[in-house]
Protein backbone atom coordinates (compact mmCIF):
# COMPACT_ATOMS: atom_id res chain seq x y z
CA UNK A 1 0.00 0.00 0.00
CA UNK A 2 2.84 2.38 0.84
CA UNK A 3 4.49 1.73 -2.54
CA UNK A 4 1.27 2.59 -4.38
CA UNK A 5 1.12 5.96 -2.59
CA UNK A 6 4.71 6.72 -3.63
CA UNK A 7 4.05 5.75 -7.24
CA UNK A 8 0.78 7.74 -7.26
CA UNK A 9 2.68 10.77 -5.96
CA UNK A 10 5.23 10.65 -8.78
CA UNK A 11 2.63 9.97 -11.47
CA UNK A 12 0.15 12.57 -10.13
CA UNK A 13 1.91 15.54 -11.74
CA UNK A 14 2.17 13.95 -15.19
CA UNK A 15 -0.54 15.03 -17.60
CA UNK A 16 -1.38 14.21 -21.18
CA UNK A 17 -0.27 16.99 -23.50
CA UNK A 18 -2.98 19.45 -24.60
CA UNK A 19 -5.41 18.33 -21.92
CA UNK A 20 -5.81 18.48 -18.18
CA UNK A 21 -6.32 14.75 -17.90
CA UNK A 22 -3.86 13.05 -15.58
CA UNK A 23 -2.11 9.89 -16.65
CA UNK A 24 -3.42 6.97 -14.65
CA UNK A 25 -1.76 3.58 -14.62
CA UNK A 26 -3.50 0.46 -13.41
CA UNK A 27 -1.76 -1.95 -11.03
CA UNK A 28 -0.80 -4.32 -13.85
CA UNK A 29 1.02 -1.52 -15.70
CA UNK A 30 2.69 -0.31 -12.51
CA UNK A 31 4.02 -3.82 -11.79
CA UNK A 32 5.19 -4.17 -15.39
CA UNK A 33 6.91 -0.78 -15.25
CA UNK A 34 8.59 -1.68 -11.97
CA UNK A 35 9.88 -4.99 -13.39
CA UNK A 36 11.20 -3.23 -16.50
CA UNK A 37 13.01 -0.70 -14.33
CA UNK A 38 14.63 -3.44 -12.25
CA UNK A 39 15.84 -5.15 -15.45
CA UNK A 40 17.03 -1.81 -16.74
CA UNK A 41 19.08 -1.22 -13.61
CA UNK A 42 20.79 -4.61 -13.94
CA UNK A 43 21.54 -4.07 -17.64
CA UNK A 44 22.98 -0.65 -16.89
CA UNK A 45 25.03 -2.06 -14.01
CA UNK A 46 26.43 -4.81 -16.24
CA UNK A 47 27.30 -2.41 -19.07
CA UNK A 48 28.62 0.63 -17.20
CA UNK A 49 31.04 0.77 -14.31
CA UNK A 50 30.67 4.46 -13.51
CA UNK A 51 27.67 5.39 -11.40
CA UNK A 52 27.21 8.61 -13.37
CA UNK A 53 26.55 6.64 -16.60
CA UNK A 54 24.10 4.40 -14.77
CA UNK A 55 22.20 7.39 -13.37
CA UNK A 56 22.23 9.15 -16.75
CA UNK A 57 20.93 6.01 -18.50
CA UNK A 58 18.25 5.44 -15.89
CA UNK A 59 16.96 9.02 -16.14
CA UNK A 60 17.07 8.84 -19.92
CA UNK A 61 15.09 5.59 -19.95
CA UNK A 62 12.42 7.14 -17.69
CA UNK A 63 11.98 9.95 -20.21
CA UNK A 64 11.82 7.46 -23.10
CA UNK A 65 9.12 5.42 -21.33
CA UNK A 66 7.03 8.54 -20.74
CA UNK A 67 7.56 9.71 -24.32
CA UNK A 68 6.59 6.33 -25.77
CA UNK A 69 3.44 6.16 -23.66
CA UNK A 70 2.31 9.68 -24.54
CA UNK A 71 3.05 9.27 -28.25
CA UNK A 72 1.21 5.94 -28.29
CA UNK A 73 -1.86 7.47 -26.64
CA UNK A 74 -2.13 10.90 -28.31
CA UNK A 75 0.37 10.85 -31.23
CA UNK A 76 2.25 13.83 -29.85
CA UNK A 77 5.69 14.30 -28.30
CA UNK A 78 5.68 17.32 -25.98
CA UNK A 79 8.50 19.85 -26.36
CA UNK A 80 9.38 19.52 -22.67
CA UNK A 81 10.69 16.02 -23.46
CA UNK A 82 13.46 17.37 -25.67
CA UNK A 83 14.44 19.95 -23.06
CA UNK A 84 14.60 17.28 -20.34
CA UNK A 85 16.79 15.07 -22.53
CA UNK A 86 19.13 18.00 -23.20
CA UNK A 87 19.40 18.63 -19.44
CA UNK A 88 20.17 14.95 -18.83
CA UNK A 89 22.80 15.23 -21.59
CA UNK A 90 24.73 17.78 -19.58
CA UNK A 91 25.62 15.05 -17.09
CA UNK A 92 29.12 13.91 -18.11
CA UNK A 93 29.06 15.50 -21.59
CA UNK A 94 31.54 15.18 -24.45
CA UNK A 95 30.56 18.32 -26.35
CA UNK A 96 32.07 17.50 -29.76
CA UNK A 97 30.56 14.01 -29.83
CA UNK A 98 27.21 15.39 -28.64
CA UNK A 99 27.08 18.03 -31.36
CA UNK A 100 27.85 15.40 -34.01
CA UNK A 101 25.08 13.20 -32.60
CA UNK A 102 22.69 16.15 -32.56
CA UNK A 103 22.98 16.52 -36.32
CA UNK A 104 23.64 12.93 -37.47
CA UNK A 105 21.04 10.94 -35.50
CA UNK A 106 17.94 12.64 -36.93
CA UNK A 107 19.38 12.99 -40.45
CA UNK A 108 17.90 9.78 -41.99
CA UNK A 109 14.45 10.52 -40.57
CA UNK A 110 14.69 14.17 -41.59
CA UNK A 111 15.48 13.13 -45.16
CA UNK A 112 12.56 10.68 -45.17
CA UNK A 113 10.25 13.40 -43.83
CA UNK A 114 11.52 15.88 -46.41
CA UNK A 115 11.18 13.50 -49.37
CA UNK A 116 8.09 11.48 -48.47
CA UNK A 117 6.49 13.37 -45.58
CA UNK A 118 4.60 11.69 -42.79
CA UNK A 119 7.19 11.87 -40.02
CA UNK A 120 6.37 14.42 -37.37
CA UNK A 121 8.67 17.10 -36.08
CA UNK A 122 8.48 15.68 -32.56
CA UNK A 123 10.04 12.42 -33.74
CA UNK A 124 12.90 14.27 -35.42
CA UNK A 125 13.42 16.47 -32.34
CA UNK A 126 13.43 13.35 -30.15
CA UNK A 127 16.20 11.88 -32.30
CA UNK A 128 18.15 15.15 -32.25
CA UNK A 129 18.01 15.50 -28.47
CA UNK A 130 18.78 11.80 -28.04
CA UNK A 131 21.71 12.16 -30.43
CA UNK A 132 22.98 15.00 -28.27
CA UNK A 133 22.72 12.78 -25.18
CA UNK A 134 24.25 9.65 -26.72
CA UNK A 135 26.86 11.38 -28.83
CA UNK A 136 28.37 10.11 -32.05
CA UNK A 137 30.83 7.27 -31.47
CA UNK A 138 31.14 5.94 -35.01
CA UNK A 139 28.83 4.57 -37.66
CA UNK A 140 27.86 1.61 -35.50
CA UNK A 141 26.09 4.07 -33.18
CA UNK A 142 23.49 4.61 -35.91
CA UNK A 143 22.77 0.88 -36.30
CA UNK A 144 20.09 0.70 -33.56
CA UNK A 145 18.09 3.42 -35.32
CA UNK A 146 17.96 1.40 -38.50
CA UNK A 147 16.97 -1.64 -36.44
CA UNK A 148 14.13 0.36 -34.85
CA UNK A 149 13.02 1.57 -38.30
CA UNK A 150 12.91 -2.01 -39.60
CA UNK A 151 11.10 -3.12 -36.44
CA UNK A 152 8.48 -0.43 -36.97
CA UNK A 153 7.93 -1.44 -40.60
CA UNK A 154 7.70 -5.17 -39.77
CA UNK A 155 5.23 -4.67 -36.91
CA UNK A 156 3.03 -2.23 -38.83
CA UNK A 157 3.41 -3.72 -42.33
CA UNK A 158 -0.25 -4.68 -42.80
CA UNK A 159 -1.46 -1.32 -41.52
CA UNK A 160 0.96 0.57 -43.75
CA UNK A 161 0.05 -1.48 -46.81
CA UNK A 162 -3.69 -0.97 -46.46
CA UNK A 163 -3.84 2.70 -45.49
CA UNK A 164 -1.88 5.67 -46.80
CA UNK A 165 -2.91 8.25 -44.18
CA UNK A 166 -2.22 6.05 -41.18
CA UNK A 167 -0.94 7.52 -37.94
CA UNK A 168 1.74 5.46 -36.23
CA UNK A 169 3.40 6.41 -32.98
CA UNK A 170 7.12 6.29 -33.79
CA UNK A 171 8.38 7.15 -30.30
CA UNK A 172 8.13 3.58 -28.94
CA UNK A 173 10.28 2.28 -31.81
CA UNK A 174 12.68 5.21 -31.68
CA UNK A 175 12.99 4.75 -27.92
CA UNK A 176 14.12 1.17 -28.41
CA UNK A 177 16.72 2.33 -30.93
CA UNK A 178 17.87 5.21 -28.73
CA UNK A 179 18.24 3.01 -25.71
CA UNK A 180 20.20 0.39 -27.65
CA UNK A 181 22.43 3.17 -28.98
CA UNK A 182 23.05 4.36 -25.41
CA UNK A 183 24.49 0.93 -24.60
CA UNK A 184 27.01 1.10 -27.47
Report the domain count for the chain.
1
The reported pLDDT for the residue numbered 28 is 78
The reported pLDDT for the residue numbered 142 is 74
Tens digits of residue pLDDT in 96-153: 888 888 888 888 888 888 887 777 788 888 888 988 988 888 777 777 777 777 887 7
The reported pLDDT for the residue numbered 18 is 52
Query: If you average pLDDT over every residue of the chain, what do you get?
Result: 78
Q: Which is more confidently placed, 16 or 81?
A: 81
Top-ranked range on mean pLDDT: pick from 74-78, 96-100, 162-166 = 96-100
Tens digits of residue pLDDT in 9-29: 444 445 445 555 566 667 777
Percent of the chain with pLDDT over 70: 82
Cβ–Cβ < 8 Å for 102, 131: yes
Provide mean pLDDT across the span 33-44.
83
Question: Whole-angstrom Cα distance, residue 174 to residue 87?
Answer: 19
148 CB-contact burial (10 Å; exposed 0-12 / middle 13-18 / buried 19+)? buried
Segments forming the whole domain that contains residue 98: 2-183
Provide mean pLDDT across the span 27-41.
80
Question: Whole-angstrom Cα distance, residue 177 to residue 148?
Answer: 5
Amino acid sequence: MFNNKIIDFFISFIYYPRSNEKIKLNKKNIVLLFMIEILLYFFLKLRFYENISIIKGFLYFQVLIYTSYIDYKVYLIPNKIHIIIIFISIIDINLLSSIKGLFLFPLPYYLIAFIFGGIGGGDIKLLASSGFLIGYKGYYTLLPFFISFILEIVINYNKLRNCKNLKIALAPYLSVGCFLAYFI
